[in-house]
Amino acid sequence: MSGLKKLISIISAAAVSVTALTANVSALETYDPYSYDRWGDPVASQVGYTAEKYVDGEMIGCGNFYEPADLFISHDNLMYIADKGNNRIVITDLDFNFKKELKEFNYNGETLTLKKPTGVFVDQYTGLVYICDTENDRVLKSDTDGNVDRIFTKPESELYDQGLTYQPSKVLVDKAGNVYVVIKSVTKGAVMYNADGEFLGFYGANRVQQTAEVLANAFWNLISTEAQRERQAKQTPIGFSNFDIDDDGFIFTVTDSQEINTDLVKKLNPRGDNILDSLGVSDMTFGDMPPTYYSIYSKRSSLTDIDIGPSGELNILDFQHGRIFQYDKECWLMFIMGGTGDQLGLFRSAAAIESYDNKLYVLDSRKNNITIFTRTVFGEIVTEAANLYNDGLYEESLEPWRNVLKYDGNYRRAYIGIGNALYNKYEYKEAMEYFEISISRGRYNRAFEGYRDQWLKENYMTCIIVIVALIILLTVYKQLRKRGKIVYPWEKRRKGGV
């Protein structure tokens, strides 16, 4: 009896501790962390970054922000905030000590002010600040004291349709000093200038998504006359909405659209070609998976900003759901953080994301603050494992991946990582198990091939003996049947009947 009581008390204690543990884990976040499995179904997961605190203008000491639109961390670890509603650029350090604000600029003796600036960028080679002065239709290139060096305005070129407005929203500069400007009304890509302010053309246009409508139009174009074609609506791609440049000089773009899948996220080489194509992910779904069944409550993600992290990971900000999606450089989904709401870690109108070391900074233009996310232990392990894996060090990544599974048994990529490590160690049987759990059939196929070869080599003699024995048995059986020594019962009955 006492044994039974003991058992019950142990079980109930275990149950209590388990519930306490789970409660503790979920209490860390103000939302339910999730990820996607092989089939694109959401499964419970853990976060890689947790919201630590938020900072607003009062706390910085520069007065509250009003609809801030962009965030940028420069090479000398200063944070630039484009405070759109207050027509200024605020500069702080990474501990949010107020440094300076840029409100008035000096251009050849003339004083310039900003009007709704929505983009800011600092060139790491020259240290000059580029500001999208959106409603003044210009991009300013200035030093940090507000002395304007050059103004980029609407290009007077035949290439640029003069009927279009010129309202720059985002800007960046590459190694060569070329300036790229995203303009909402232009769908041909970013407007590109050289270092001298000369208009070079457009850069990195998206493709038109191949839909049934596009194909039908292509067919009608074959048979319609010139005049009919004139009147038809042109198929134009959706222009990308934001971009970032990584340390190797590749430009990443995101497209803010809930209708298309094509070219939502691109990695462009200097020629403007999307090199994610070679990974086979150019039509991949970034952000939330589209809902299986149509519902007015479920909306597709709309990607509003992208940031490239220190080890090449892609931090993509979803305006629609206020979520951060982190992908590694091979475009594997790592973590999903955030949501919509007023609590810490949730957003009302997520506008911009930046990363520094193991922190993420997210700017909310309705809450008028910046939320700081710090990488969790889980995030550290996954990042370590993924980096080793992406460098081809599969065997070294084995232990980190095993650690990942201790935290999150749903983490599909850990199974693939372990499987690959075991495969490289010629432990095919175990590798097959992990590939089966992670439902990666191509890898399973390779592991199975290895396992079969191994098995055949080990059991070569046995196989031969079994085959020879079978042949002998079969011949003996046939001989016996011929001589009538083996008669099955149903044949007996039949013969008796006849």
Partner 1 sequence: MLDLTKGQFVKHVILHPFEGFEDLRWKKGGSMKIAFAIVCLLFVQQIAYSRLYGFQYYSDYDKIFNIVPYIFKSFILFITWVVANWAMCTLFDGEGTMKNIFINSAYALVPYISGYLIGTVMSHFLIRDEYVFIQSVEIIGLCWSFVLLISGIKAVHQFSFGKTIALMLLTVVAMIAMLFLLVLLLTLFQQVIIFILSIYTELSYRFRV
Question: Is residue 448 a contact point for partner 1 (CB under 8 A)?
Answer: yes
Comparing C-alpha atoms, which of 303, 298, 299 is closest to residue 324? 303
> In the complex with partner 1, which residue's Cβ is closer, 229 or 494?
494
Question: Is residue 198 a contact point for partner 1 (CB under 8 A)?
Answer: no
In the complex, least distance from residue 420 CB atom to partner 1, rounded to whole angstroms: 16
In the complex, least distance from residue 492 CB atom to partner 1, rounded to whole angstroms: 11
Q: Look up residue 308 and give its two tokens.
A: 């490239």
Comparing C-alpha atoms, which of 297, 281, 298, 280 is closest to residue 289? 298
**Phi, psi angle pair for 43, to nearest 5°:** -130, 155
Helix or strand (DSSP H, E) at 350: strand 350-356
In the complex, least distance from residue 448 CB atom to partner 1, rounded to whole angstroms: 6
Q: Is 115 helix (H, G, I), strand (E, B) or coil?
A: coil
Which of 41, 198, 342, 458 touches partner 1 by CB under 8 A?
Answer: 41
Question: Is residue 298 a contact point for partner 1 (CB under 8 A)?
Answer: no
Spatial CB neighbours of 241, under 8 Å, sequence gap ≥ 6:
169, 170, 182, 184, 254, 255, 256, 303, 304
Stretch that binds partner 1, among 76-84, 102-110, 336-344, 486-494 (CB under 8 A): 486-494
Q: Look up residue 249 and give its two tokens.
A: 């000089």
> In the complex with partner 1, which residue's Cβ is closer, 225 or 292?
292
In the complex, least distance from residue 449 CB atom to partner 1, rounded to whole angstroms: 5
Half-sphere exposure of 115 (CA within 13 A, CB side): 7
Question: Is residue 490 a contact point for partner 1 (CB under 8 A)?
Answer: yes
> In the complex with partner 1, which residue's Cβ is closer, 347 or 444?
444
Question: Is residue 215 a contact point for partner 1 (CB under 8 A)?
Answer: no
> In the complex with partner 1, which residue's Cβ is closer, 325 or 428?
428
Which of 3, 39, 212, 248 touches partner 1 by CB under 8 A?
Answer: 39
Task: Report CA-CA distances (Å) from 88 to 136, 220, 369.
Answer: 13, 51, 15
Handedness of CA 440, 443, 447, 448 (dihedral sign): positive
Q: Look up residue 85 and give its two tokens.
A: 């509603």
> In the complex with partner 1, which residue's Cβ is closer, 366 or 441?
441
Q: Look up residue 180 and give its two tokens.
A: 């790229």
Spatial CB neighbours of 6, under 8 Å, sequence gap ≥ 6:
none
> In the complex with partner 1, which residue's Cβ is closer, 55 or 437?
437
Which of 115, 366, 441, 478 touches partner 1 by CB under 8 A?
Answer: 441
Q: Is 375 helix (H, G, I), strand (E, B) or coil?
A: strand
In the complex, least distance from residue 480 CB atom to partner 1, rounded to whole angstroms: 19
What residue type is assigned to position 310 of the chain?
A: P
What residue type is assigned to position 414 of the chain?
A: A
> In the complex with partner 1, which residue's Cβ is closer, 283 or 380?
283
> In the complex with partner 1, which residue's Cβ is closer, 41 or 247?
41
Stretch that binds partner 1, among 223-231, 331-339, 423-431, 438-446 (CB under 8 A): 438-446
In the complex, least distance from residue 48 CB atom to partner 1, rounded to whole angstroms: 26
Question: Is residue 498 a contact point for partner 1 (CB under 8 A)?
Answer: yes
CA distance 59 to 363: 15
Helix 377-390, helix 398-407: angle, nearest 10: 150
Stretch that binds partner 1, among 44-52, 108-116, 139-147, 445-453 (CB under 8 A): 445-453
Binding mask 449-478 for partner 1 (x = CB under 8 A): x--x--------------------------
In the complex, least distance from residue 195 CB atom to partner 1, rounded to whole angstroms: 51
Spatial CB neighbours of 388, under 8 Å, sequence gap ≥ 6:
394, 396, 397, 400
Question: Is residue 494 a contact point for partner 1 (CB under 8 A)?
Answer: yes
DSSP classification of residue 399: H
Restricted to residues 15-34, the positions that interact with partner 1 (CB under 8 A) are none
Residue 251, beta-bridge partner list? 245, 268
CA distance 362 to 337: 11
- How many CB atoms sit inside 10 A of residue 4's CB? 8
> In the complex with partner 1, which residue's Cβ is closer, 49 or 434?
434
CA distance 447 to 390: 20
Which of 211, 445, 475, 479 touches partner 1 by CB under 8 A?
Answer: 445
> In the complex with partner 1, which residue's Cβ is closer, 21 or 487?
487
Site residues, partner 1 (CB under 8 A): 39, 41, 436, 441-442, 444-445, 448-449, 452, 490-491, 494, 498
